Chains A and B, each alone.
Chain A
Amino acid sequence: DVKVTQSSRYLVKRTGEKVFLECVQDMDHENMFWYRQDPGLGLRLIYFSYDVKMKEKGDIPEGYSVSREKKERFSLILESASTNQTSMYLCASNTRGAGEQYFGPGTRLTVT
């Protein structure tokens, strides 16, 4: 079975803190994605990566950056957390050319 894991299920941070969200997949997938999910807005793509050290902006990249140093790991970084970044963050992965994305369990981040 494909397994996508995220470093934390729940996280509480203060405004201005630097926040790291980690995602690891064990299926040798080329593509990895970071989404955030908010009520009434659905899942929105923040960043994605199709190879090691490659990254592309999604629909809402402002305030975020990413890092992919190894194929299995994709990190989302909030350089200076703000309250409007309180959300559920979901990581996903899939193989090159294949559609189905496999999701991690999500991290519910609260910024106070």
Chain B
Amino acid sequence: GQNIDQPTEMTATEGAIVQINCTYQTSGFNGLFWYQQHAGEAPTFLSYNVLDGLEEKGRFSSFLSRSKGYSYLLLKELQMKDSASYLCAPGNGNTGFQKLVFGTGTRLLVSP
């Protein structure tokens, strides 16, 4: 079976740092994605981790531990526009094709 666990909601202050955790159990794991989704809009790609470790991209970083089935998304210097849902999505499948299984998302509220 497949199971993804991430917090339902988090709050933080503008300028702060927030870490959104995700644990997963999925067969045939071949990488993990994070997507951002603003209310009423489509998800947009943030990051992709295949190997263990930290991937940094501007204010956003993502970490993966394959052995622990664990990932986190780190958002620095929070801005009001970062208020959105963040979706953890482990991928699985054979070479040449990858299906994503999405978590229910973490709704982040950034306050002034």
User: A interface vs B, CB < 8 Å?
Assistant: 31, 35, 40-45, 48, 50, 58, 90, 96-97, 99-106
The residue in chain B whose Cβ has the minimal distance to the Cβ of A9 is B40
Query: With A43-B87, A103-B43 given, can you name 8 additional A-B contacts, CB distance below 8 Å?
Result: A35-B102, A40-B104, A97-B97, A99-B31, A99-B48, A99-B91, A99-B98, A103-B44
CB distance from B108 to the nearest CB of A (A): 16
Q: Is the CB of A100 within 8 A of B45?
A: yes
User: B interface vs A, CB < 8 Å?
Assistant: 31, 33, 41-45, 48, 87, 89, 91, 95-105
Knowing A41-B104, A43-B102, A99-B48 are in contact, say whether A105-B96 is a contact too (CB < 8 A): no
CB distance from A100 to the nearest CB of B (A): 5
Q: Would you give 13 A-B contacts (Cβ < 8 Å), ordered by A?
A: A40-B104, A41-B104, A42-B87, A42-B102, A42-B105, A96-B97, A99-B31, A99-B33, A99-B98, A100-B45, A100-B48, A101-B100, A102-B45
Q: Is the CB of B97 within 8 A of A43?
A: no
Q: Is the CB of A106 within 8 A of B87?
A: no
Q: Please report the C-alpha to C-alpha distance between residue A106 and residue B96 in the assembled complex, in whole angstroms.
A: 26
Number of A-B contacts (CB under 8 A): 48
Q: Is the CB of B33 within 8 A of A100?
A: yes
Q: Is the CB of A42 within 8 A of B96?
A: no
* Chain A neighbourhood of B96, CB < 8 A: 96-97
Q: Is the CB of A105 within 8 A of B42?
A: yes
Q: Please report the C-alpha to C-alpha distance between residue A35 and residue B41 in the assembled complex, in whole angstroms.
A: 14
Q: Please report the C-alpha to C-alpha distance between residue A35 and residue B43 in the assembled complex, in whole angstroms.
A: 12
Q: Please report the C-alpha to C-alpha distance between residue A46 and residue B42 in the assembled complex, in whole angstroms.
A: 17
Q: Is the CB of B104 within 8 A of A31?
A: no
Q: Please report the C-alpha to C-alpha distance between residue A7 and residue B45 in the assembled complex, in whole angstroms.
A: 22
Q: Which of A44, A97, A100, A101 contacts B95 (CB 8 A)?
A: A97
Q: Is the CB of B33 within 8 A of A45?
A: no
Q: Please report the C-alpha to C-alpha distance between residue A110 and residue B33 in the assembled complex, in whole angstroms.
A: 30
Q: Is the CB of B45 within 8 A of A106?
A: no
Q: Which of B31, B42, B45, B89 contacts A90 (CB 8 A)?
A: B42
